[in-house]
Each structure stands twice: as structure tokens, then as C-alpha cells.
Structure 1
Amino acid sequence: MSVSATVLLLFISWTIVLLLAMEIVRGYLVLAGRVKSNEFRPDNANLSPFMQRLTRAHANCLEGLPVIGGVLLLALATGRSDVTDALAPWVLLARVVQSSIHVASTSNLAVNARFAAFAVQIGIAIYWVWMLLLA
């Protein structure tokens, strides 16, 4: 499997890990009798700030997947993973960093660091698109 394909699989896996973490906590809250299973809001607004941040981190992955995943899939489908292979691990690292910061804190410094990680991902995606268009 190419680097790009591996990174795409790991990006999807990271998204699943965040979802599982959220559902494990939700399951615990139901089993502990703290929340009824029909009381969960889609954004977890009625739960702890941690759960709200976890929900947003997961949603950010879902929002980024069509862009990053789409470009990676396009490169793979057209046999141009040479364009994406070198920077693909950096996109994944930036995504994991962004999600981890998102879950950990909403301080000003954390939000700025999270944005920097996001900017790395978008910058790389723009570069990939440009390189694929030139090919």
C-alpha cells in the first residue's frame, strides 16, 4: 500500500477512534444512569465541556475528510500518489495534533495552535491540488 493510501486509512481510523471515545463516554453515562439514551444532543451541548470538545474534534475530522481524503483518492485513482506521498504523513500528523489540542483545551494559545495545525493541512491540500492540476 502506498504512503497516501496508508495515510488515508489512518485518517479514517483516527476519525473512528474519536467517535468510539465519544460513544464509550456516552455509553457509560447511560449505564451509570446519568443521562437517558434519548437525551443526547447531536453537539453534546448538554454534557461536559470535554464531551463538547470531543464532538467538535470528531466533526472537524468529518469536515476535513472529503477535502483531504478526496485529494488523496484522486491521486491514488490517477496513479499520481507521487504528488501526495511525501506530505501525506504531515497532513495526518497535523490532523492528530489539531484534534488532540481541540479535545484538551480551548485556551487562546490552544485555539491558535489548533488553527496552525489546520492551516498546515489546508496548505498541503492546496499544494496537492495545484500539483495535480499542473500534471
Structure 2
Amino acid sequence: MSDPLSATLQIAASGLKAQSDRMRIVSENLANARSTGEASGDDPYRRKTITFESEFNRVTQANLVAVKGIGTDKAPFTVEYDPGHPAADVDGYVKMPNVNTLMELADMRETNRTYEANLKVMTQAREMVMRHIDLLRN
């Protein structure tokens, strides 16, 4: 059996890593929310997605979270009328990325809160370890 505090730190650390990766994906999506193709007929930026999986750590006997994969959203592109745009088709329509900025901002907020929660767990576990060490000194 492993040390519960060590397992707690491993779980929280894996959560921090996963949410950090998720924040990177959300940031990329927001940064490219208006990135169109360069020429007529080119596809614009396609929204990225991230999936997670549970990963068992035999040393700590804990289930950790890990990034399973980064994919792309298959949702259709939207179109906007902008005949002067270099990527406009013959009718003047431009394919726009399938990124919904409102949804990405909601994902960013959720990611931030989850990251903070994992950070708080790590801080509290570290404080418990320090108290344990102080008790052993006395």
C-alpha cells in the first residue's frame, strides 16, 4: 500500500497537467477563432478538442488523469459574406472556423477553476506533509 499523501499529490499533479494541456487547446481555439483559409476554397482553422482518460499508477495505487488525445471538431464551418476577403468564393462567402468563442470562454473558466482546485489540493497536502515532519521533530 502506498502513502496516501503521495497518492494525493500524484493525483493533483496529473490534474494540473491535464488542465494545463486543456488550457493550451482552448487558448489555441480562441486565438484562431477568426483564422480563415488564405485562398478561395481553403478550409479555415478547425477547432481542436481534447479527451482525457483514467490511468492507474501501480506505485501510488491511484487513478490519475491523462490526456488521451487531441483531435479536431467535425462540426461544419460557418460562412460569412465578405466579397473582398482573399478566401471568398465566387459568391463572396468566406468559410469561418467552427470555433464558438462563448463556448471556449466557458471551457476556459471551467479549466481555470479545475486547475485552481488541483493546486489547492497540492498546497494542502504539502502543508500536511510539513506538519507531519514538524511532529516527527518534536
Bigger radius of gyration among the two: 2
TM-score band w.r.t. shorter chain = 0.3 to 0.5
Structure with the higher fraction of residues in helix conformation: 1
Structure with the higher fraction of residues in strand conformation: 2
Structure 2 length as normaliser, TM-score? 0.37
Structure 1 length as normaliser, TM-score? 0.38
